[in-house]
Structure 1
Amino acid sequence: MAAACLLLGAGAAQAGEIDGAALSVAWGVPFVGMLLSIALMPLLLPRFWHHHFGKVTAGWALAFLLPFTLAFGAGAAAHHFVHALLAEYLPFVILLTALYTVAGGIYIRGNLVGSPGLNTAILAMGAVLASFMGTTGASMLLIRPLLRANDNRRHQAHVVVFFIFIVSNAGGALTPLGDPPLFLGFLKGVDFFWTVRHVWGPMLFLTLALLAVFYAIDRRLMRERGETDLPDPTPSLDASGAPSRLGFEGGVNFALLLAVVALVLFSGVWRTPAGLEVAGIRVGLPGLVRDAGLIAVALLSLWLTPRRVHAANEFGWGPMQEVAKLFAGIFLTIIPVIAMLKAGVDGPFGAIVRAVTRADGTPDPAMYFWATGALSSFLDNAPTYLVFFNTAGGDPAHLMTDMALTLTAISAGAVFMGANTYIGNAPNLMVKAIAEDRGVKMPGFFGYMAWSFCVLLPLLVLITLFWFWK
């Protein structure tokens, strides 16, 4: 084992960055295969996908890794595999797992009835919480009580779709704690409160507009379908089964949630050269401390939360396992795609990069908004943010001042348009999986996109005209 690690480290040390300009678009086939599998297999082969999605993901990962090893050598393959694992995937999954576990240990009790007013209020609350506890934390905290409140409704899917739009995406646009792309910007040097000052306008517009549209749809559906006459199958019980009033159980998890926020924030503020080098990949001490702390928080939550609270929440690992497996494949197969984007105008996707620049060489904020958003809809929005952050120059001081509108467009595009598909942002898949576990018949990949096309697209066009069309 030790000899294998030494060989891996030696080979990785000799590996350099991929020259994206020299790559063929064929290297993007495994990534496209991953996307098509997520989109089509649940529709065409639902039983096979439910039991074997992990194997399908592993197959596409190998479809990238094996040819890449043959073409560039074992050292390069090891380097990029370890980089994706240590620098991107593990921190991502550890943070999501901590938020998922802590939020799953908080039970909102009480006899909630899913009226249009209550549903809209829960969505609005989630939008506020998302920027302070992350879109994942807010989603995991509120999706279960929202589903429980609407379990007497014949039509529930639209409630979950708007929950993904508002709580799992748009609500996280105000602080670096809200969404991973903004946290990456914070690590690059963007001031913590810069996003609040510059993105609050489009975020408020989008959130209020979505809440208004949702209220109108939910009110009409409830009236037309006669759903108000259905009995409420959810009794007003606490986690132990006794009658209760509205309140919380598992309150220790609120303190643990603050610990998660503190660990993430501290890792971005703490500057030190200390760290470890694993197979040629530098892992900083702040990140190691953050990840170790997040693991400890998750374990503490599991230990301190009463079993009856988890049982009342129907807490299980299925949704987290699905996200972890699918994003393992996405983080691996996306490697050549990101390299081609980073190659700029010289790469296979040079047309995209040229599209965000005007003829006089100045950046076009509207095009940055749509280019960042379009790619964030299908790629992970965190690396997409970094690509266009660097395309715009990568100097945070310059971007926050002279190019403030461009950075605002990049930030808003990455966060808002992560809601366009199930794979645009990790909480989307988690919320979908939890809803389906509760028996909600969610739209498929393209069915969901039909919702985003009809509801989100017109609002995003208005945001472009009001804020970025200069």
Structure 2
Amino acid sequence: MLPGLCLAAELDGTQLSPAWAVPFIGMLLSIALWPLLAPVFWHRHFGKIAAAWSLSLLLPFAVQFGIMPAAAGAVHAMVAEYIPFIALLTALYVVAGGICVRGDLRGTPALNTCILGLGTFLASLMGTTGASMLLIRPLLRANGNRREAAHVVVFFIFLVANAGGALTPLGDPPLFLGFLKGVDFFWTMRHIFPHTLFVCLSLLAVFYLIERYYYLPRESLRRAVVVSDDFVAPRLSFDGSMNFILLVAVVGLVLMSGLWKPGISFSLLGTPVELQNLVRDGFLFVVVFLSLWMTPKTARKDNDFTWGPIAEVAKLFAAIFLTIIPVIAMLRAGEQGAFSSVVKAVTGPDGQPVDLMYFWVTGILSSFLDNAPTYLVFFNTASGDAATLMTTLASTLAAISAGAVFMGAMTYIGNAPNLMVKSIAEAHGVRMPSFFGYMGWSCTILLPIFIVMSFLFIL
């Protein structure tokens, strides 16, 4: 009866002006400025502010283009992107938050570097969110008696919440989207392993040097005892260890949704809903329930587990996924869209992709637009065909993948675990940098490493 709805979810970016990006920009500025200007107000009302920016897009859009196109765009953003996104994050947050690591951990430079190295390795196996939620609380407890701990969390975001997830589709949402589009599971590991090794080893080395600077001459421990900096292997135990089995179940569900293709789907206002994705998301919530039911209460209590961090991410990213709709549409429109200059920047005079520009443009936009949809835009800009991108344009896909994953660490909103780690650290009393303060760290530390890496492996 309404055939137009079949295409309603695909917004024509050629009809949009840059003014439609204002709600998204306003959302980003709110995240950046409100915590600085009015932190108490922001903490109490950030959900309402996020809702206001979402409505500032949807209501004018409904007036200009019609209620059904506005509803179809919102449904597509929520059903096809946001719900799978938040379902996976919630499952990893709850399951990893139920594993309490106990032991005599003491935050020395050597131990902190080892924890960051372990988290970096685990990130590609259990996802950046899973690795972050598993290790951030033990790391914070180990450094709870230190005055200077914010830099430890900043590097944790760089490594565990971002760069460490660059090797498999399980590691980071952009790579999972590529996997669903047909990129082989081990393709990324084969093609950007040198990039990842260079970035991660460089960051670990820089972190250790900064740690020595803070810890040895400047760090004053709260205990009036002399503490040796020698590394002593801690005695560790785990409470809530059944959650490791549930983590394996989460990984299995993600793999299942990419490998099992029953060909059964239905359309919801123009958005296809496939059976494998329904099964995955449904069972992810079952995993959440099982984790809450089976985990000893002492494990979550000792972890200081609260719903605050995931609630903050859920509310803010719901607004981001909604307000980003016209931005992604204008980018997808290519040279016919309002952001044609961005598309032209990644294409040479001969019409061939410029790998170095793909890395930097994908990366810079991933810093502010969330790296998952940004990856998908440039995946489609380069070719959109996985077989071509894995062969003829392999270097271009490697540049897109590296830019999306690595530069998700440039801001708090580049990758979802960033905000969760920040929120948990602040709940533990760590004075984290502001939005721009964090960017000061990322620009100073990450950009030089990315410049060297791009000349070594991409140019």
Give the TM bin, normalised by the shorter chain.
over 0.9
Which of 163, 167, 171 is the equivalent residue of 1:174? Answer: 167
Q: Secondary structure at the match of 2:185?
A: coil
- One-letter code aligned to 1:286: Q
Residue 22 of structure 1 deviates from its aligned partner by 1.8
Task: Name which of structure 1's ranges 428-437 and 395-404 shifts more when overlaid on structure 2.
Answer: 395-404
Q: Deviation at 1:14?
A: 6.9
What per-residue deviation string (whole Å, max 9, x for no partner) do you get for residues 49-84 of structure 1? 000000000000000000000010011011111111
The 1:347/1:312 distance shift into structure 2, 3 A limit, reads same
Residues of 2 paired with 1:462 and 1:298: CA distance?
A: 42
The answer to whether the aligner puts 1:44 opposite 2:34 as a matched pair is no
1:126 corresponds to 2:119:
yes
In the alignment, the residues of structure 2 paired with residue 26 and residue 464 of structure 1 have an alpha-carbon distance, to the nearest angstrom, of: 33
1:386 aligns with 2:379: no
Pairing partner for 2:273 from 283, 293, 316: 283
- 1:1-28 deviations in Å (ceiling 9; x for gaps): xxxxxx9x88845736222122110000
Instruction: Indicate yes or no: 2:447 matched with 1:454.
Output: no
Compared CA separation, residues 71 and 121, structure 1 to 2 (3 A): same
Contact 2:9 2:73 in 1 (8 A): no
Task: Give the distance between the partners of 1:20 and 1:217, measured in 2 at CA.
Answer: 46
Partner of 1:101: 94
Q: Is the 8 A contact 2:346 2:353 kept in 1?
A: yes
Deviates more, 1:280-289 or 1:156-165: 280-289
Q: In the alignment, residue 424 of structure 1 is paired with which amino acid?
A: G
Residue 182 to residue 16, structure 1, CA distance change in 2 (3 Å): closer
Aligned partner (choices 334, 342, 352) of residue 344 of structure 1: 334
Deviations 1:123-182 (A, max 9, x none): 000000000100000000000000000001101100000000000000000000000000
Residue pair 2:147, 2:221 contacting (<8 A) in 1 also? no
The answer to whether the Cα contact below 8 Å between 2:191 and 2:398 also exists between their aligned partners in 1 is yes
Deviation, 1:277, is 2.8
Gaps of 5+ in 2: 226-233
Q: What is the aligned partner in structure 1 of residue 426 from structure 2?
A: 436
2:412 is the counterpart of 1:422: yes
Partner of 1:221: 214
Task: Work out the CA distance in 1 between the residues paired with 2:75 and 2:383.
Answer: 27
State the AA in 1 paired with 2:27: M
1:333 aligns with 2:333: no
Q: Residues 200-239 of structure 1 correspond to what in structure 2 (within 5 A)?
A: 200-227=193-220, 230=223
Offset at residue 281 of structure 1 (A): 2.2
Partner of 1:373: 363
Deviates more, 1:259-268 or 1:353-362: 353-362
Matches within 5 A, 1:149-188: 149-188=142-181
Does 2:350 align with 1:357? Answer: no
CA displacement at 1:86 relative to structure 2 = 0.7
Aligned partner of 2:30: which letter? S
Asked whether the equivalents of residues 14 and 76 of structure 1 are also in contact (C-alpha less than 8 Å), the reply is no
Are the structure 2 counterparts of residues 16 and 210 from structure 1 closer, same or farther at C-alpha, using a change threshold of 3 Å?
closer
* Aligned residue in 2 for 1:241: none
Distance 2:371 2:269 in 1: 27
Deviations 1:279-298 (A, max 9, x none): 33221000000001100001
Give CA-to-partner distance per residue, 1:74-131, whole Å, 9 cap, x none.
1101111111111111111010000000000001001100000000000000000000
Identity %: 64
Answering whether residue 57 of structure 2 is matched by residue 67 of structure 1, we say no
- Structure 2 SS opposite 1:18: coil
Length, aligned pairs only: 451
SS state at 1:56 partner: helix
* Unpaired segments ≥5 residues, structure 1: 1-6, 233-243
Are positions 1:397 and 2:390 aligned together?
Answer: no
Alpha-carbon distance in 1 for matches of 2:292, 2:100:
14
CA distance in 1, matches of 2:415, 2:9: 29
1:359 Cα deviation (Å)?
Answer: 1.2
Determine if contact 1:13/1:79 at 8 Å carries over to the other structure.
no
Could you tell me which amino acid in structure 1 is paired with residue 292 of structure 2?
L
Alignment partners' CA distance in 2, 1:436 and 1:16: 39
Kept in 1, the 8 Å contact 2:9–2:269? The answer is: no
- The residue aligned with 1:4 is none
Which digits, 9 at most, give the CA deviation of each residue in 1:155-210, with x for residues without a partner?
11000000000000000000000000000000101000000000110100000000
Partner of 1:3: none
Q: Residues of 2 paired with 1:267 and 1:226: CA distance?
A: 48
1:111 has 2:104 as partner: yes
Q: Secondary structure at the match of 2:431?
A: coil
What's 1:305 paired with? 295
Query: Cα 1:16–1:451, aligned 2, differ >3 Å: closer, same or farther?
Result: closer
TM-score for the superposition, normalised by structure 2:
0.96
What SS class does the counterpart of residue 10 from structure 2 fall into? Answer: coil
Q: Quick one: distance in 1 between partners of 2:224 and 2:84?
A: 44
Confirm or deny that 1:293 pairs with 2:283.
yes
Quote the residue 2:306 is aligned against.
316
For 2:189, the equivalent position in structure 1 comes to 196
Give the TM-score, by structure 1 length: 0.94
What is the distance in 1 between the residues matched to 2:239 and 2:101?
7
Per-residue CA deviation, residues 386-419 of structure 1 (Å, 9 max, x unaligned), is 1100111111111111111100000000000000
* Pair 1:226–1:388, CA change in 2 (3 A): closer
Q: Is the 8 A contact 1:274 1:285 kept in 2?
A: yes
User: What amino acid is the match of 2:165?
Assistant: G
Contact 1:340–1:347, Cα closer than 8 Å, also in 2: yes
